[in-house]
Structure 1
Amino acid sequence: MNPSNVTTRKDVLPRQAASRVAITTLLMIVVIATLAFWLQLTAMNRTAHQIMTSLERFHADKLVLLEQEWQEQAVRLHNRLELLDLFARGVGAWDALTASLRQESDSSFAAVVITDEARQVLHVHPSHFSGLPETLEFSGNSGWHVSTTTGVLHRWIAQPFWLGPIGHGEIFVLVAIENGLLFRATLPFTELFVIHEGRVMASSQGNTSPPPESLLDATFWNKNQRIDQIIIPWRKNDPNSPRLVIRHVTESLFSVTELLIVGVALFALISWLFWKSLGSWMIRITRRINTLGWVAEAFSRGLDLTPEIRDALHAVRDKSLDEVTMVADAIAMAQEVVARELRARLEAQADLGRMSSHNQLLLEAAGEGIYGLDPSGRTTFINPAAARMIGWLPEEIIGTSLHDRVHHTHADQSPYPRHECRIFAAIRSGETQVVNDELFWRKDGTAFPVEYTSTPIRDQGEIRGAVVVFRDISERLRAEKQARDYLTFQRVINGLHEISYHRVPLDELLDQALAFILSVPWLAIQAKGAIFLNEPQTDTLRLTAHLGLDDQLLTLCARVAHGHCVCGRAALSRQPLHADRVDERHEITFPQMPPHGHYAVPILSGERLLGVLTLYLAHGQPYNPEEELLLMAMCQTLGSMIERKRLEESLQYQNTFLEEKVRERTAELHDHLSALKSAQNQLIQSERLAALGGLVAGISHEIKTPVGTSFTAVTYLESELNKFLAHYREGTLYREDLDAFVENVGEASRLIQANLRRASDLILSFKQVAVDQTSQEKRRFDLKEYLDETVFTLRPKLKNAPHRVTVQCAEGIVLYTFPGAVSQIVANFILNSLAHAFGAGQAGRIDIEAGLIDPATVFLHYRDNGQGMDAETVKLIYEPFFTTNRNQGGSGLGMHIVYNLVTQRLNGTIETRSAPGAGTEFRIHFPV
């Protein structure tokens, strides 16, 4: 080898080496870039597949959980409302129902709707929920509804509901599928959409949703993003249900262009750094992505963070918070959300268990019998009250046909076939059966009357059995019978009392009473009987009244000795006697006398025998203590009738004699009384006119002062006007004169106005009070204003005395009565106090208090602190012409007029309270 070749080789080898290195490096970079892109694409495909599989399972399970949660909430709401309807029926049931619906609609549902059997809307909560028709066109037990007003998609679930007197109905719960409802804890780089009938109804993007045609089950690239979409039907076997579209976006690390540009520009650097950094990084990122895919697959299988999964998620996290780290954190967060939802579901199941236990406690505590039937008629449950009433143990009843044990026979002992049973009719027809006239039979063979309600149990439109609620009505029927017997008892006694007041002779009166007694249907007697009156002089009974007796008996029983035959034995013993047949006690007989029995009851007045009532019974009629009590009450009434009639007859003669004497004396007294009444009326009218005259004199004197003052002011004003005109005509009018004239005119005008107003008030008050006292007619008036006017009219009497009068009365009390009577009562009280209560120089106090005791009663209390009265004077104060001040002109009619006005004109009451030195008080109450 020559030097040149060596040189050449030295030149070529480096070039070849360099080219080879460059080509190898370039190829290596291309291969590595291609391999890296392929590895990235493969990892992205595998990861995307695992993530989409995990998301599909996760959201499919989430939809199932949501459906179960809504169904459980609907069942829980249905059970709560059923309990409210069962235990609060007639005691504010709709108020409790409305409150429960309001709570559920605020917390769990968008709306709660109650419909009747035709799905006619009865109640909607909340009331402002719109978009529903008056009649729901929904079919089935669940479905979807799009609001016509808001466009929101709702999931509805129906439950059957018993509406009491309205009948069968349904309760619908509506859950809004709005933006954000289904998308809690949505994974990063993941978007969710709900499509229904070709429209996007909800989206995790809020209101910025893509067009529905772009939401397909496919994978495509958008620039440097890989987009995977899958579609999950809401319910697998329902083609009309909405669909959930899950979109996951994966950002690629590098594109082909980026790899080539970086490889060409930095191939030397990449060739050196590839093994040092990129290779290990790719391996690490690939391992992280593979680990993340394994975690997603394991998580989708178990839905729980096991220690291995937690360690793997911790291993793939990086401080740079790259996509892998964010996906790992999102998977952990999603697990926590699912765990919370699972805990919530377990809590809901526990609540259902507690509610079931609570319902069981309610059934055990219920006093009514309750049991359930399946469609075949077998007993599914029975509460302790029902088991006690029928005498069977619950374990002996469950699973058997209760009809064959307790409902097999009618009251007339005829068989009760199962196909005729009204309890099973509820299962066959689906209609509630209410029965109150049948029997249940106990285990020991005894029967008791019941009323029961058989209500069908519906589940998704199918009848699953029935619930029977029954109660023993033996006590109620017994009480009703006693009430009917008592009414009959009262009717009989009242009828006898009514007969006793007939103005007929005693014998005829007893005939009427006997006929009435024999017509009583409650007594198991024949239409035959008699009433004997006792003759104590001979100790015999005389036949006085009879009905239906044979002619032989009328002769044989005309007189019966005490202790002889049935009637005489009852008279002698003074005790009721019952005979169910003709025995040795029946001493009076005749041939062909039909067999019969007797009730013989003595008629007593205290211990004194007045007679005997005997009634005929059918042969063999047993003793009935209730009939005996009624007959004894009848005889007591007959005794009162006989005593009163005899007393009337004895008094009639005396009355006839006395009437003549009374008639003569009455004529004489009538003439004297007429004269006295005429004189009294004249005196009362004179007293009333005298009081009115005194009032007129006082008012006239009071009016004279303001009218005289006004006249003086007008005279002065006229004088000032003449001076002013004189200055004006002479041209000597200065500003000081004008100011003085204006000031004087103003002062005079105010003086005139004040005095004329005072006179006007006096005239109006006097006019109203005077008209009321003279007309004595009813009208409406304000009580406080009228009392003030009355006191104001007495001002002339009060202004010269040091006494103080106060009126306490609430505003706005309007009465419709006689105002003149009220004013005259108050005026007489005040004038009476001024004349009698206070001594010379004494400053007295008078308090008048008025108001309403209740809306229909008025009180008027008058008090003074004067010298008072003793008890004897209080007794005589209302007597006409009684006075303690006759020497000073007292007539003695003032308080008599007050008494008549209160008791006759106002139809009220008056009470007087007084004691020497303690003042006097009058308390008046009258209706309005």
Structure 2
Amino acid sequence: MEPHPARAHNELARHAGLLGALLMERNAAKVVAEDAVFARCDLAEALVIEPIVEGNDHVIGHLALVFDHMLDAAPSVQSLVALGAARANAEFLRQRALEALRQSEQKFFSLFVYSPIPVAVLRSTDGRCLDANPSFLKTFGYRREDIVGRTSDEVPIHAQGDAQRHWVRELMQQQREVSGVDLQLRTRLGALLDCHVYIRPIPMNDEECHLVAITDVTQLRAAQRQVEELNQSLEKRVEARTHDLAQSNAELETALVRLKRTLDELVRAEKLAALGSLVAGVAHELNTPIGNALMVASTLHDLNVTFQDQIEAGLKRSTLDAYVGESASAADSLLRNLQRAAELISSFKQVAVDQTSSQRRRFDLAEVVGEIVVTLQPVFRKTPFQVSADIPRGLLLDSYPGPFGQVVTNLLNNTILHAFEGRNHGLVSLQACHDPEDGWIRFSCRDDGVGISPANLRRIFDPFFTTRLGREGTGLGLNIVHNIVSSVLGGEITVESEEGRGSCFILRLPVQAPLNPELVPDLPLPPSLLA
């Protein structure tokens, strides 16, 4: 009688539940005869049962083998059964990871659909449009079937004709990234729009594609032209005045400086309101958890290859135990990173629709910051830099600890990437206190790094602004921080820096954050994005 594998039921499962892994080298007929599955195996002599264990020691089933003779190499047989149980568990975890990935793609699609910024996905090789969101279709007056599946040669959207079209095509073929380039585009009815265009290469459905986000700044350009014309008129009038009007001229010049400052703030506010940067920010923020998950999956693959070689060379129990332990650890790490990726996508969706997490609660600032520092210690241990937190207990906020944690994490990651470039040491200090003027919480993240130049300091919160383009930076981290602090937490953020003496990011947060409306429900993914 050959071994007969099956999932243990009834009596065998009861024995396994009492004893864990079960090995009966002889006289197994009585136990087998009482089981519903093996009731007809009247010649049973030996029995091997191994539990199928999920992470955290949760038994989800059993694998049983029945033999009609006594076992000569019982430990080896039991090891093979344990291997089968481990592989069954690995398949269970793989299916669960695939489900988590599907949910992540669904949330990304919700961001794509609900974004008020026109967004399209183009294939890099030929510039063919693979998808366009409702905002894109509404802004340019096209139907979806007029855009999807066609190239810019077939859709006359480029106002400057072939030269502009060839420049964009060459840009995509070179896999280059563009942040806020000025282009004039044409609608279906022929109207010309002044636009800021953001282009970022992304992989999609095993193809190299580009994500194109467009901001219509036609009205802003008209306002700028009016202001420029007004400035020119005022300058001519000032030049025509006599010495007797010198004092009036000085006052007018002061007014012009204030007007220019106001205009700069208006342009900056417009850039910070561009939710198209959040769509590209998904790829930026998901880089760490998905990268970690990919590394764990690769390690697990190499581990399986090594284990297969060890099986062919002769399997030992210690080798099997080590394999099971390492596989369980890898599966736990993979699950944690994929769950982190799902949480990040949910957070981006909430910010994109100008809403916040529903998990609002009263919390102690010292506890939340302490937890964040602990989770980031592995990152700092890979660098020569250190982080310290000096937050007194008792600073209570009625706010959103999730978005606040994302702000602190982004600030610390930004410090690692930029603050200590070219140095082999550095310290990041986190401090907080009550502001005596209005009772708000003042939180600071200070480093003793290289500092920020005055030219870069003015653009530090602009979307896609980075000093490490093409290396590690995408220019979205601090822009996301600004959006969360101002719109979700209801606070303010400023930065102080001096070259060679470090930087300090200062957050002023109300003790009670403003209320936000309910979130928009998710939509199902279309077949085109699931392909």
Establish whether TM, by shorter chain, passes 0.5: no
The higher-RCO structure (CA 8 Å, 6+ apart) is 2
Q: Which has the larger radius of gyration?
A: 1
TM-score, normalization: structure 1?
0.22
TM-score, normalization: structure 2?
0.36
